[in-house]
A and B are shown apart, each in its own frame.
Chain A
Amino acid sequence: MSKKSTRSSQPKPDPEAAAKPTTVSALKKILFVSKSLLELEDASSGRLCLERFHHPGKGQSALFITHPNGQIMELLEYAEPRRSWLINNEVCSNGKIYMTMPLDPTLLAVHHLRKHCDQKAISLDSIAVEDSSTTRLLTKFVPSQGLKCIADVKVSGDLTFYKYNAERTMAWLALKTRQVQAVLKAKQIHCGQNAAQSQNFVRSEKLQVENNSSDVDYLRMACDIVGRYLDIDLHEMLTHYLDIPKEIQALAEEKNAAQKRKSQQGQAGGAQSKKIKLNAESEQDQNTELKKSGLIDSDSGGSPPTPVAPTPLKEHSMTAKEKALAKGARGSKSITSFFKVK
């Protein structure tokens, strides 16, 4: 039997093979496209298009799909680390699924209006004169109803001018976030802030039933989903507006609450945590103590509310460096221990 640590054959690159031109099929792609985009008129009148627009969450351009009738959707890729396709009698190394996702283009407009129309009202076509893709986005795809939610509109003759309205935008984003929150809740999607817990869905369906996400968890996740279309500072403003506690605070509070419960149960609790600080002679002992106190992530699944740490889905794609990090992190203090109330 092979003693290799990974389950793959990794041939050394064959210089001859590399020189061969890639076959045509190398460029095949799988797309799940919304049926509403497929109502195409015949022939000449136009085609679906993949276009690049500035994606504020990415800080760079990303692809969107546009329809000649003015529809726009976001293009997402589902990229599990180890996937490929068989298509009829061919193999396709590109194992991704590209998927069109409904999108409110007003979200994309926020970045541009905030940047260019904060001080004075201007018309859409003069917002980014040097950037044709932004002009196209604003004039062809963003609905005027949407613009009214994020800007003050002034009409003068044939011209319409827009001035960014921060207050309205924030209220609009808050309402959007609550809509998403409602869906997350209705679908019972796990949104708990405990990173280990939130991985449960990859382990078993049953665990989803035990989903104990709180309203704040749903709201935080919803805010992050809306926030991926926003500049980072605006995302933070939205988090603040919605009174969402920082994830790290919530984590620390949760742990502290658990700690208190523990120390109430067994009086030794408080004394023990002091002892931890003093007892530094043996790292091994310290780790054991820390584990007992629930302050570090234990892989043996000790104290609630930390369940047995399941394997995160992403971990399959761990690089050697990440593996080393994970290995190194074993037995180290959890982040929450640094925020412990002394």
Chain B
Amino acid sequence: MSITLDFDAKQLAKSKQLSLHYLPAKIQGDGEANVEKCFNNYTRENPDYGSGILTNSLRGYPLLGQQANVPSGYKGLVLQETEKPLIDTAERQLRLTGQFDEFIYWNYDKVPSNADGYRQALLMTDVAEALMYQPIKQEDLDAEIQRHKESKKENS
């Protein structure tokens, strides 16, 4: 099974810039939402919490937010599948709805910080790069094999 991301460079360049909010609640629903009037209308900057900190609320729950960039080296995409096939082996296609480079990150009653799971998760990119982009030289490998043999001898 494979899933094709069905767009090329041109389509990507032409795709819509989207405006996104990352909300701190599980919402069991999909579809139209009156985001502009019921939510954006109420976003305020509140320097009491720090510069650039935004406030709003969702169903009465207090939110604290901040403009966040898609991590550097990455592009934010919104993908959409028109219909998920019932058989898992079928070929699938994802269309490009649009792209984004920033979004508003919201916490439930907590000032966004490096302690947030989201920001901690981004550290994974550093780790993954270390695993990927530092090729191991043959001579280092031979040296390591040698070192290990010697240390084994010492211990025995």
Contacts and interface: CB of A to CB of B under 8 A. Distances in A.
Do A and B share a complex? yes
Contacts of B7: 40, 47
A115 interface: no
A183 B20 contact: no
Contacts of A47: 4-8
Given A29-B78, A29-B94, A182-B130, A149 B26 contact: no
Interface in B105-151: 113-118, 120-121, 123-136, 138, 140-141, 144-145, 148
A145 to B, nearest CB: 7
B117 A26 contact: no
A203 B113 CA distance: 10
B75 A175 contact: no
Nearest to B82: A24
Contacts of A176: 131, 136
A320 interface: no
A49 B138 CA distance: 32
Contacts of A33: 74-75, 77
Contact of A27 (B6, B76, B80, B133): B80
Given A88-B35, A205-B115, A225 B26 contact: no
Q: Interface on chain B toward A: helix, strand, loop, or mixed SS? A: mixed
A85 interface: yes
Given A24-B82, A52-B1, A89 B34 contact: yes
A289 interface: no
A149 B74 contact: no
B124 A76 contact: yes
B22 A28 contact: no
B47 interface: no
Contacts of B82: 24, 27
B48 interface: no
A35 B30 contact: no
A49 B81 contact: no
Q: Interface on chain A toward B: helix, strand, loop, or mixed SS? A: mixed
Contact of A32 (B76, B113, B117, B135): B76
B31 A50 contact: no
Given A91-B33, A183-B130, A28 B79 contact: yes
Contact of A91 (B6, B19, B27, B130): B27
B141 A85 contact: no
B3 A49 contact: yes
Interface stretch (A99-107, A120-128, A246-254): A99-107
Contact of B4 (A23, A24, A49, A205): A49
Given A28-B78, A184-B127, 4 more contacts: A82-B26, A174-B144, A189-B123, A202-B120
Interface of A: 7-8, 22-36, 38-43, 47-52, 63, 74, 76, 78, 80-93, 95, 97, 99-104, 107, 145, 148-149, 167-168, 170-172, 174-176, 179-180, 182-184, 187, 189, 201-205, 208, 225-226, 241, 313
13 contacts: A28-B78, A34-B74, A43-B8, A49-B3, A78-B118, A87-B20, A90-B30, A90-B31, A93-B28, A149-B138, A172-B136, A175-B141, A187-B126
Interface of B: 1-10, 12, 18-36, 39, 61, 70-71, 73-84, 94, 97-98, 113-118, 120-121, 123-136, 138, 140-141, 144-145, 148
